[in-house]
Amino acid sequence: MSEQKRALVVDDSRSARLVLRRMLEKHEVLVDTVESATDALEFLTNNRPDVVFMDHMMPGMNGFEAVRAIKDNPRTATIPVMMYTSKGGDLYLGQARALGAVGVLPKTVAPAELYESLQRIGLVNERRNADDEAVEQDDENASERLEDLHRQQNDDIPVAAAAFSETRPDDTDEPIKVQLRRALDEQRVEIRKDLLMGLDTVARQSREAIDRLLDEKSEALRKKLPPPAPPPSVLPTVLLIVLLFISVMWNFTSHNEEFNETKRSLTTMTPSAQAQDLPENKPETEPERTKQIWESVNWALNQNTNYPWDEIALDEARMQTVAQLLEQLSNADFTGKLALETHVGEFCLQGDEENGFTLASDDMTLDQCKRIMNPVQHTDSPSTHQSLAFANLVASAPPLQGDAITLDIQAAQRSEPLVAYPPREKTTKAGTWNRAAAANNRVIIRLIPD
């Protein structure tokens, strides 16, 4: 028989810990529970569970910070961590996986969904028996059981007490009363547990109904709003085309003028004078002019590469610019490197991770900021600054398939900003700080010819 699996549930909600624990125990998983991320890290110093279920929003250290600490420790880095939270969405899932979590389970997880997650990480067998499926069906009908338990509490207990009182005299049934009181206390504890499970089920159903209503309202409001303006990515491409055309014409004209001037000079000079008068540094003038042209192109490309505070540096908007730029460079027979350097601003924000963040009002001070950070780019790793669509472009763009053009993506350290921030003092205004952060939220594009 294989060794019984162990799980650690980390959640500040007692009812949430109880619900998940009961669901896991029905899969023959031993469960330990703690109520904070700090307690979880202390538990892991002397214990090694097979999986950790981590809540996100907890007092003190939140779930993401705890996952980062677990994955940074070589002793615990290989333990699978599953986020167990009411948050969701592709962005949240991507953030969780970037930190090392294997997946995300909702607080309203169905037994079948929990089973599939346990199966993926090897904690349960391939097939379940009929008893397991019947138990899962009982969990899904927790709200109906709640009503039955109310009737049982109101009807059965008085009847049982009356039966004992009728069959036993008051002066000789003291041990029976003690046993009855103990049985009633145990039943009251079980009823309280089932009540908590029932309340969680009702809350889940209410939350799902509210979410559906909000989605419908949001969709209706979105349809009424005017379509968003197209991203301002056309200007750099147009400037590039113009400058490339000017470069070709300039080189052609300069070459003709130099050729004609040299020809006229040679016709009026003696052979010895011709040999002495030819400048030795003539071949260097053409590379110098080419360098000046590419510097002008780089200047044009960086006139409009700032991006909003709540967007990834290299997302779909910047992807269109890079794709058009690669095509134009390929058509112009450019050989060299296209370098993209992402810079990230740290913004003064209001809100929280549960409900989302917004920019603080300009008249607020820094000590009133809930967080000073970038809400969508938590690290300086280049992979976290790219969307999936942009990564696919890099892998499949035809101009990048040969050796003529290479793409180099670097993420600058936010500790070395492009624009200096104002002093980080209590009296500094949030508007002043966020303007500096917006200036640092930028992608720098450079062309480095061979």
Instruction: Find residue 341's DSSP bridge partners.
Output: 410, 444
Q: State the CATH number of the domain containing residue 70.
A: 3.40.50.2300
Distance from C-alpha of 64 to C-alpha of 87, rounded to nearest angstrom: 12
Per-residue pLDDT of 317-346, as tens digits, reads 888 888 888 888 888 888 888 888 999 999
Same domain membership, residue 155 and residue 135: no
Among residues 114, 139, 164, which one ends one of the domains?
139
Most confidently modeled range among 61-65, 206-210, 327-331, 396-400: 61-65
Same domain membership, residue 427 and residue 308: yes
Per-residue pLDDT of 273-316, as tens digits, reads 444 544 444 444 566 656 665 665 666 566 568 999 999 988 88
Give the residue from 233, 229, 230 showing the smallest Cα distance to 445: 233
> Domain for residue 116, yes or no?
yes
> Domain for residue 229, yes or no?
no
Same domain membership, residue 288 and residue 192: no
Host H or E run for residue 60: none
Q: What percent of the chain has pLDDT over 90?
A: 31
Among residues 122, 139, 156, which one ends one of the domains?
139
Same domain membership, residue 116 and residue 154: no
Q: In whole angstroms, how far apart are CA 277 and each of 23, 135, 258, 262, 271?
A: 93, 99, 14, 10, 10
Give the residue from 290, 301, 191 showing the smallest Cα distance to 235: 301
Mean pLDDT of all residues belonging to the chain = 78
Same domain membership, residue 306 and residue 320: yes
Rg from Cα positions in the chain: 34
- 166 has pLDDT over 90: no
- Compare 450 and 102 and report the one with higher pLDDT: 102
How is residue 380 written in tokens?
Answer: 């300086």
Same domain membership, residue 353 and residue 239: yes
Host H or E run for residue 194: helix 174-224
- Compare 100 and 302 and report the one with higher pLDDT: 100
Three-state secondary-structure class, residue 19: helix
Per-residue pLDDT of 45-69, as tens digits, reads 999 999 999 999 899 999 999 999 9
- 158 has pLDDT over 50: no
For residue 76, give the amino acid letter: T
Same domain membership, residue 419 and residue 334: yes
Distance from C-alpha of 399 to C-alpha of 403, rounded to nearest angstrom: 9
For residue 83, give the amino acid letter: M
Domain that holds residue 15: 6-139
Q: Give, in degrees to the nearest 5, the angle at Cα 391 between 385 and 395.
A: 145
The answer to whether the beta carbons of residues 294 and 449 sit under 8 Å apart is yes
> Domain for residue 299, yes or no?
yes
Q: What is the mean pLDDT of residues 136-150?
A: 47
Number of domains in the chain: 3
The answer to whether the beta carbons of residues 444 and 305 sit under 8 Å apart is yes
The answer to whether the beta carbons of residues 96 and 26 sit under 8 Å apart is no
Among residues 168, 197, 224, which one ends one of the domains?
224
Same domain membership, residue 386 and residue 276: yes
Same domain membership, residue 77 and residue 159: no
Same domain membership, residue 405 and residue 360: yes
Q: What is the mean pLDDT of residues 226-252?
A: 68
Q: Quick check: pTM over 0.75?
A: no
Helix (DSSP H) and strand (DSSP E) numbers for the chain = 15, 11
How is residue 254 written in tokens?
Answer: 């300069």
Band (pLDDT 50/70/90 cuts) for residue 180 is confident
Band (pLDDT 50/70/90 cuts) for residue 232 is low
> Domain for residue 381, yes or no?
yes
Neighbour count for residue 19 (Cβ, 10 Å): 24
336: left (phi over 0), alpha (psi -120 to 50) or beta: left
> Domain for residue 1, yes or no?
no
Same domain membership, residue 183 and residue 100: no
Three-state secondary structure along 218-282? HHHHHHHCCCCCCCCCHHHHHHHHHHHHHHHHHHHHHHHHHHHHHHHHHHHCCHHHHHHHCCCCH
The answer to whether the beta carbons of residues 346 and 374 sit under 8 Å apart is yes
Q: In whole angstroms, how far apart are CA 429 and each of 96, 255, 372?
A: 33, 57, 13
Three-state secondary-structure class, residue 302: coil
Same domain membership, residue 217 and residue 108: no
